[in-house]
Copies of this chain bind each other. A is one copy, B any other.
Amino acid sequence: MAIPRAARTQRRTRIQEEKEEQILEAALDVFSVSGFRGSTIDQIAEVAGMSKPNLLYYFRTKEAMHRALIDRVLFTWLEPLRAFDAEGNPESEIRSYIRRKLEMARDFPRESRLFANEMLQGAPHVEDELKGPLKELVDEKAEVIRTWAKAGKIAKCDPYHLIFSIWSTTQHYADFDVQVRAVLGQDHAGAGRFEDAARFLEQLFIDGLKVKPVQGVS
């Protein structure tokens, strides 16, 4: 008789690892496009190439699949911000943060869309994580930025809105990919698009954050 997944206490089988990975891969495909409510287990099953009951053998509910995905994404998505180094050079730290976020949007667009979908729906499954770990990490890095500004290393600015603007501009290329493609057309297609975006954003943020000479009567 099959033992329900939740009751298992032993170490995981090789098959379990493989199949769970296979299911999450398919679930990411589906959830990232249609969101939680708009996705069906049947869709995921078809993409995964397995029967629906088989999926439910590894994840007891649709919500469990979504949960597993969100947890994973939330963690890796914050990697670049964690790497933000208080001891580093402000300009190069910001530059490489932008580049890393942009690379993630390019290499993991489904993860970005999954997260965006969750936000659009009011974060019903992750509000606690937002108010807890996420807020704490952002608070910490915002303090770093504030210190830099006070030391005159970058222009005075609201660190929170700076972080928001880096998030939004970079993730835009994953979340609004259709729109970007439609507007740019075939002219700016391919790998060049990524470099163009990187160049623009680095210029915007670096120049926008340069310390301005004190204004006064000249």
- A residues with a Cβ closer than 8 A to B are 32-39, 113, 116-117, 119-123, 127, 130-131, 134-135, 138, 155, 157-158, 160-162, 164-165, 167-169, 171-173, 175-180, 182-185, 188, 196-197, 199-201, 203-205, 207-210, 212
Contact = CB atoms under 8 A, between A and B. Distances in A.
A165 B204 contact: yes
15 contacts: A35-B38, A35-B117, A116-B116, A117-B120, A130-B179, A130-B182, A130-B183, A134-B182, A135-B185, A164-B183, A168-B169, A168-B171, A203-B208, A205-B208, A207-B212
Nearest to A208: B208
Contacts of A185: 131, 135
B135 A183 contact: yes
A78 to B, nearest CB: 12
A145 to B, nearest CB: 12
Chain A interface mostly:
helix
B120 A33 contact: yes
Given A130-B183, A135-B182, A168 B172 contact: yes
B119 A175 contact: yes
Contacts of A37: 34-35, 37-39
Nearest first, the 3 A-B pairs at minimum CB distance are A208-B208, A37-B38, A38-B38
A205 B122 CA distance: 29
Contacts of A121: 33-34, 38
A137 to B, nearest CB: 9
Contacts of A188: 160
Contacts of A158: 196, 199-200
A164 B180 contact: yes
